[in-house]
Amino acid sequence: MAEAPLTRSIATRTGDDGTTSLLYGQRVLKNHPQIEAVGVLDELNAALGFAKATRPTGTSGLAIEQIQRELVGLMGELSCAPSDAARYAAATFAKIGEAELANLDAAIAVIEARQPKFDGWATPGANVHAAALDLARTTARRAERQLVGLGSPTPTVRPVLLRYINRVSDLLWLMAREAEQV
C-alpha cells in the first residue's frame, strides 16, 4: 500500500498567541503597524479580484491582474523588519520601482485621453463593476494612509511605494468613472 503524501495544514497554530512572522522570521503582534499595512493591501488585492470578476464580458482584466501581482511584491517588502531592509534589498524578490509607477501613469493617460464623463464628486453604484472599482479605490486610499503611518516619525517606506499606491487609487477612480458609462 502506498503512503499518502504529506500535507501541510494552513492552521500552523503559531499565531494562536496573537503574533505573526515578518518575512525573515521576526515575531510581532498581529496589530503591528506593518501587519496592519500588509492586511489592508491584502484587502485591496481581494477587492481588485472582485472588480476583475465583475467586469463586463469581453473586457480585459490584465491591468487589474498586473496591479494584483505588484501588490504581492509590495506586501513582501512591507513584511520585512527595518533591521532586515538591506537583506531584502539584496534579495531577488519582485519590487515596486519607477517602471511600475510609469506603467500606472501610462494607464491613467490612456483613460484620461478617452475623457470619461463625470459630474462633480462620484457617487458609487451606477453598476456592480463601477461599484467594485470604487470599493477597491477606497481600500487603496486606506492602504495609502497606512503606508504614510509607517513613515512616521522615521521614514521606513520607500517614497516610490507611496507614489505607487496613490497612482493605483487614481487609476481605479478613472476606471470606475469609465465603467459607469457602460
Domain assignment of residue 117, yes or no: yes
1 inside domain? no
| Total domains present in the chain | 1
DSSP class of residue 14 equals T
* CATH code, 121: 1.20.1200.10
Q: Is residue 10 part of a domain?
A: no
pLDDT of the residue at 153: 65
The reported pLDDT for the residue numbered 182 is 78
Asked whether residue 8 is domain-assigned, the answer is no
Cell 500606472 locates to 104
What is the pLDDT, as a whole number, of residue 159?
93
List the one residue out of 142, 172, 146 whose CA is nearest residue 48.
172
Q: What's the pTM value of the predicted model, to 2 decimals?
A: 0.90
Let me know: does 70 contact 51? Beta carbons within 8 Å: no
- Take residue 45 and report the three cell numbers written for it: 488585492
Domain range for 86 is: 19-180
pLDDT of residue 152: 73
Angle at Cα 165 formed by Cα 180 and Cα 47, nearest 5°? 50
Q: What is the pLDDT of residue 171?
A: 98
The tens-digit pLDDT sequence of the chain (182 residues) is 666 666 788 888 878 888 999 999 899 999 999 999 999 999 999 999 999 999 999 889 999 999 999 999 999 999 998 889 899 999 999 999 999 999 999 999 999 999 988 877 778 999 999 999 999 999 999 999 999 998 776 667 899 999 999 999 999 999 999 999 87
| pLDDT for the residue 110 | 96
Rounded distance between C-alpha atoms, residue 9 and residue 85, angstroms: 30
